[in-house]
Amino acid sequence: MSTFGFIKAAAASPRLKVADLEYNVKEIEGLIRASDSLGTAVIVFPELCLTGYTCADLFGQRLLLDKSLDCLAGLLDKTTDCDVLAVVGIPLPVEQKLYNCAVAIQHGKVLGVVPKTYPANYKEFYENRWFTSGYPLSKSITEIRILGRTIPFGSLIFHCEELGCSLGIEICEDLWAVVPPSSYMALNGANIMANLSASNELVSKSNYRRQLVAQQSARCISGYVYASSGVHESTTDIVFGGDCIIAENGSILETSRRFDRGSSVIYSEIDIERLASERQVNRTYADNCEYDGEFRKYRKVDVSYNKPFRVDKDNFTRHVPPHPFIPDDPLSRDERCEEIFNIQVAGLAKRLEHTGTKHAVVGVSGGLDSTLALLVTGKTFGLLGIPAENIIAVTMPGFGTTDATLNNAVQLMKTMQTNVNEINIEPACLRHFKDIGLPEGTHDITFENAQARERTQILMDLANKHNGLVIGTGDLSELALGWATYNGDHMSMYAVNCSIPKTLVKFLVKWIADNVVDYESRDVLHKILDTPISPELLPPGANGEILQKTEEVIGPYELHDFFLYYVIRHGMPPRKVLFLAGLAFDGKYSADEITKWLKLFYRRFFSQQYKRSCLPDGPKVGTISLSPRGDWRMPSDAEANLWLNQL
């Protein structure tokens, strides 16, 4: 069995000599053994790797073809003790025609042979000069004789029931087809695609090739292992770079360093459980599978492994980003922020146009969430040609408000040229505490929530007064944890931040500061970015500092956002989330800390669903939203014990 559904895959580009088969087999054997020692389930080699892809008219030489089979037999003899499933490429004559084939081998045996569907026949590639498409033959025969044995041939999927892994194979040009064979394989259950390739290097071709691999892995909801020929192929007219790629459902997991002079191999873990979960919830995939139209059928070949696949911290090579909502690459991060900001603005603009209102009311605390909501509102009003002074911006200092946050709020409202309002809520709250009999000096949950509800009442009544909309400030992380006062900051008339996690809010505000607003606004935004996250509902310290820090109470938001992503987006069980969090935050949080906050996440997520069941409208900006109307339907009284017990 594999750990948490991960299996290790490898893509290799061996050093070779064109037409020197014994040399090539020795290199291939070494890579097979190395990958097997690491517990690899599948290793993929380039097309025609036994002979070299660039043999050209030498493929017409019987000596070369016979030697290919001899060397394949030698490779089988030398790898009988290897558990890894290796896929190698050879030229294979069948019924007096020559085919460009992939051969799947394991435990010293050939498990099956898959011919190339679309031999390349353009510009620098003239495969039709030597090779025939394997598709017509695959429809007429299902077995061939190789090395004295009858072997499955044609449209095959190599299936391991124990691992839940099904491997489909296509060869180079097949991926470039209008409908690649891997698309049909996916409909027949294959969840990992192997591509044996010989793709030459041209300016910008590598980027296109990697996009193609990533896109096909997304379209098929599969893993994709791509291995291309390297620099030691013939350079008579073209050069190969040894481009190897491992992708999963649209994401590149690992790539090789091209133009390496030695044999190269890359590894990564493919998450079979995650792919199964994605396919299960993707109705388009399910509907495709049920389609009764004409599409290619595949036969399964059983695969078994002698050794269990164990994944732990020491042998896990896949990068697990600690902030899954935030791209690592700065350019991609900027593009993400710009797109999210535009989605927020577009959503609010439509709501304002539909309601015909020319005013909006925003509560501004000097914190990140309300800052983002005000920035979105300001941009929207500019887009619609409505004066910024029609934004009724209100700061409402209370018992816990510090001078720093109050000054930041007022300064931001002024630099954005909004209608500036300051309403101190302390007198109203003190009167309310007296009315309900709350003893003076009591700083309990009633003391805190009464302030939040007082602020919401002010905002709602101002919206009525000005015929405007209250713009919500709460974010996705707060909704997941229920860290909002019911019918307080929980409520608004349009919630622009509702599907943005807390870790991303900070990057959004910084991007807006650096790319959208003027210098004066930028200065105050950077001050807000440096302010600790706090609801400021409890009195500050003697020196006016913030004492009530949210993350000290409910835990680090970066952990909760990590949990949220894998629990909701991928439906992962607690132990798997815990394992991945341990990798992502290695050295920053201990296992006990992560476990503690993960338990809190599950408790709060289950117990606070009633707050999410009545959320106001707001735009979905990413793959996760907790809107009860479109994305997340959960009973408000479900028990968390099943999940907590696993921890």
pLDDT in tens, 284-324: 888 887 664 555 789 999 999 998 888 888 889 999 999 99
Report the pLDDT value the prediction gives residue 308, as an integer from 0 to 100.
84
Report the pLDDT value the prediction gives residue 391, as an integer from 0 to 100.
98
Report the pLDDT value the prediction gives residue 535, as an integer from 0 to 100.
65
Tell me the torsion sign for CA atoms 352, 355, 361, 366. Answer: negative
What mean pLDDT do residues 497-525 have?
Answer: 95
Report the pLDDT value the prediction gives residue 335, as an integer from 0 to 100.
96
**What does the alpha-carbon distance between residue 280 and residue 120 come to, in Å, rounded to a whole number?**
35
Express each pLDDT in 209-228 by its tens digit: 999 999 999 999 999 999 99
CB proximity list for 41: less than 8 A, separation 6 or greater: 2, 7, 8, 9, 84, 85, 160, 163, 165, 305, 309
Task: For the chain, give the percent of residues with pLDDT over 90.
Answer: 88
46, 196 in Cβ contact below 8 A? Answer: yes
Q: Is the pLDDT of residue 542 over 70?
A: no
What mean pLDDT do residues 38-64 have?
Answer: 97
Express each pLDDT in 223-232 by its tens digit: 999 999 999 9
Report the pLDDT value the prediction gives residue 78, as an integer from 0 to 100.
97
Q: Is the pLDDT of residue 131 over 60?
A: yes
What mean pLDDT do residues 370-398 have?
Answer: 98
**What does the alpha-carbon distance between residue 225 and residue 193 come to, in Å, rounded to a whole number?**
6
**What does the alpha-carbon distance between residue 264 and residue 286 come to, in Å, rounded to a whole number?**
38
Q: How far is CA 200 from CA 18, 133, 197, in A?
A: 16, 21, 9
- Beta-strand ranges (E) seen in 409-449 are 419-422
Report the pLDDT value the prediction gives residue 546, as an integer from 0 to 100.
64
Report the pLDDT value the prediction gives residue 311, as an integer from 0 to 100.
80
173, 120 in Cβ contact below 8 A? Answer: yes
Express each pLDDT in 453-472 by its tens digit: 999 999 999 999 999 999 99
**What does the alpha-carbon distance between residue 602 and residue 109 come to, in Å, rounded to a whole number?**
48
Instruction: Between 520 and 603, name the one with better pLDDT.
Output: 603
Q: Is the pLDDT of residue 540 over 80?
A: no
The backbone torsions φ and ψ at residue 34, rounded to the nearest 5 degrees and listed phi first, read -65, -45
415, 409 in Cβ contact below 8 A? Answer: no
What mean pLDDT do residues 325-330 have?
Answer: 93
Report the pLDDT value the prediction gives residue 307, as an integer from 0 to 100.
87
What mean pLDDT do residues 56-74 have?
Answer: 97
Report the pLDDT value the prediction gives residue 126, as an integer from 0 to 100.
79
Report the pLDDT value the prediction gives residue 285, as an integer from 0 to 100.
86
Provide the pLDDT confidence category of residue 481 given band limits of 50, 70 and 90.
Answer: very high
Mean pLDDT, all residues of the chain:
94
Catalytic residues: 47, 116, 172
Q: Is the pLDDT of residue 121 over 80?
A: no
Q: Is the pLDDT of residue 547 over 70?
A: no
What mean pLDDT do residues 80-107 have?
Answer: 97
Interstrand relation of 494-495 and 109-115 (parallel, antiparallel or unpaired): unpaired
Report the pLDDT value the prediction gives residue 1, as an integer from 0 to 100.
55
Q: Is the pLDDT of residue 536 over 80?
A: no
What DSSP state is assigned to residue 200? B
Q: Is the pLDDT of residue 189 over 80?
A: yes
Q: Is the pLDDT of residue 97 over 60?
A: yes
Q: Is the pLDDT of residue 477 over 90?
A: yes
**What does the alpha-carbon distance between residue 352 and residue 370 come to, in Å, rounded to a whole number?**
19
Residue 357 burial (C-beta neighbours within 10 Å; 0-12, 13-18, 19+): middle
Interstrand relation of 244-248 and 223-228 (parallel, antiparallel or unpaired): antiparallel
Provide the pLDDT confidence category of residue 425 given band limits of 50, 70 and 90.
Answer: very high
The angle subtended at Cα 578 by Cα 574 and Cα 582, nearest 5°, is 175
